Structure 1
Amino acid sequence: MIGTGAMSDPYIPLEKDLRIMRKCLEIIEKYSFGVTVHTKSSSVMRDIDILEKINRKSKSVLQMTLTTADEKLCKILEPNVSTTEERVNTLKEFQKAKIPTVVWLSPFLPFINDTKENIDALLDYCVKSGVKCIICFNIGVTLRNGDREYFYSQLDRFFPGMKERYMRTYGNSYEVLSTNSDYLMKRIENVCQNEGIMFGIDRVFSYLRKYENKYENQNIQLSLFDNL
């Protein structure tokens, strides 16, 4: 399995012209490797034909991040990427194509999108889109030195008075957890259990790494360069 999108979205705007990701997928398909694509962009729809071919040969998985069900808030928290609605529609199209999908629920900003209503709406999207797995490390966000200053400047810009609330509550903490984190994490777990959605970091990462069915009993290490 080849993973993409861990450090940078593979469908940045330039991809429409450069088509680098499509060329990579063509090579992956040619040599019968599997692939996971992690993105916030509905532009992945351009390559669904290749991902279908890969999934028939071996395995392909779409990973999509969802943060908020509020479209206005989405434009503030995640500017210059596909809207939540566009991403959910993409998940539904991949479901139709029988390509498994994984949703990452993150980040959740305390006092902003860490509400039960938002979590429930996102979970409803996941259920209706037929996602196979959900990943959520916790209900919160991490703030490194340098990141924190920029984050606070944006709080001042879009949420006046919120910076002071963060400073009183979290100080200079790296991990900024919602006060409702335990309750909301349990709610996500319960919905996943009731709806048959895989949940749990180790379980989902294991699923992303392995081949099922026709490949699970083949102890063969393929090489990308065997036929070059």
Structure 2
Amino acid sequence: MHYKRAKGILSAKNRMNIYRGCTHGCIYCDSRSEIYNMDHEFEDVEVKENALELLKKAIHSKKEKCIIGTGAMTDPYLPLEKELEYVRKSLKLIDRYGFGFTCITKSDLVLRDLDLLKSINNKSRAVVQMTMTTYDEELCRILEPNVSTTFERFKALKKLNEENIPTVVWMTPILPFINDNKDNIKGIVEYCSEANVYGIICFEMGLTLREGNREHFYSKLDEHFPGIKEKYIRTYGDSYVLPSKRNSQLMKLFKRKTRENGILNDSDMIFEYLNKFPKKDIQAKLF
């Protein structure tokens, strides 16, 4: 871990990354790609030491309240967050000034901040987005070794639902020749149904590989799945998009199972929900 002063914190779409780099160890992580120009070792997490100062300044400059999001590049609930509490302190600012919040995570550490999530959600909206790729626990520990297992994430989703915090699941990536099978898709959707998630984002069955993450992914395939790397190379070459050969049948299964369980599967509608700031104060006055 190392500190660095940043020039800004919020993107044009009101997204932020307090940390840069990750220690979760997911073998397929796109954030390792060279395109992001990370000038330090990926596991040597960079902490934006002035993030809270920048966030407060950005919030004060906003003409309208919005949903502030985090987690698109780096999971906000890294192990170091337990001690640093930069995310928790950010939530306090977001709560104090009446903004909304959403995050993408694989960690049940998010439950630590349940009090703030509830307070934010009572005023505007707080949505927890949880990535779930692998129903099988043993396989999950190989693909995503240093983070909460899928079952632990499922329990976190259930707890969030019990506390009336809306949730969304990202079911991606689904790795060809590894977890692109019916049992995996069914298992994840069943977890989502029991946890009463609002929606599941799944564009297609497959993954993307670029320079940087491709080399790391292939090294992990050699370590854990001998012979699979060669199968990837024969099938996909140097392609950026690697669709599962079972994409069509698995997407049909995904859409059928989500419809049967009353789970939204339209990504555009889910993104609209995640990005639209609710006018709860106006609604309260009307009713």
| TM-score when normalising by structure 1 | 0.92
CA contact (8 A) 2:207 2:243 kept: yes
Q: In structure 2, which of residues 265, 276, 279 is the aligned counterpart of residue 199 of structure 1? A: 265
The whole-number CA distance in structure 2 between the counterparts of 1:34 and 1:105 is 24
Q: Secondary structure at the match of 1:12?
A: coil
Partner of 1:44: 110
Does 1:63 find its partner at 2:135?
Answer: no
Q: In structure 2, which of residues 58, 78, 93 is the aligned counterpart of residue 12 of structure 1? A: 78
The whole-number CA distance in structure 2 between the counterparts of 1:62 and 1:90 is 10
Question: Which is worse superposed, 140-149 or 47-56?
Answer: 140-149
Q: Secondary structure at the match of 1:196?
A: coil
Q: In structure 2, which of residues 247, 255, 258 is the aligned counterpart of residue 181 of structure 1? A: 247
CA contact (8 A) 1:132 1:198 kept: yes
- Structure 2 counterparts to residues 32-111 of structure 1, below 5 A: 32-111=98-177
Amino-acid identity (%): 53
The whole-number CA distance in structure 1 between the counterparts of 2:188 and 2:154 is 9
- Structure 2: 5+ residue stretches without partners: 1-66
Question: Which is worse superposed, 146-155 or 37-46?
Answer: 146-155
Shift of 1:146: 2.8
Partner of 1:24: 90
Deviations 1:200-228 (A, max 9, x none): 2211100101134636879xxxxxxxxxx
Does 1:162 find its partner at 2:232?
Answer: no
| AA partner of residue 257 (structure 2) | V
Shift of 1:35: 0.4
CA contact (8 A) 1:210 1:216 kept: no
User: Cα 1:157–1:96, aligned 2, differ >3 Å: closer, same or farther?
Assistant: same
Q: Secondary structure at the match of 1:3?
A: strand
- Structure 1: 5+ residue stretches without partners: 219-228
Question: Which is worse superposed, 167-176 or 118-127?
Answer: 167-176
The whole-number CA distance in structure 2 between the counterparts of 1:215 and 1:77 is 43
- Structure 2 counterparts to residues 98-137 of structure 1, below 5 A: 98-137=164-203
Q: Which runs of 4+ in 1 moved over 6 A?
A: none
| AA partner of residue 138 (structure 2) | K
- Name the count of aligned residue pairs: 218
The whole-number CA distance in structure 1 between the counterparts of 2:84 and 2:209 is 33
The whole-number CA distance in structure 1 between the counterparts of 2:198 and 2:180 is 23
Shift of 1:128: 0.5
| TM-score when normalising by structure 2 | 0.73
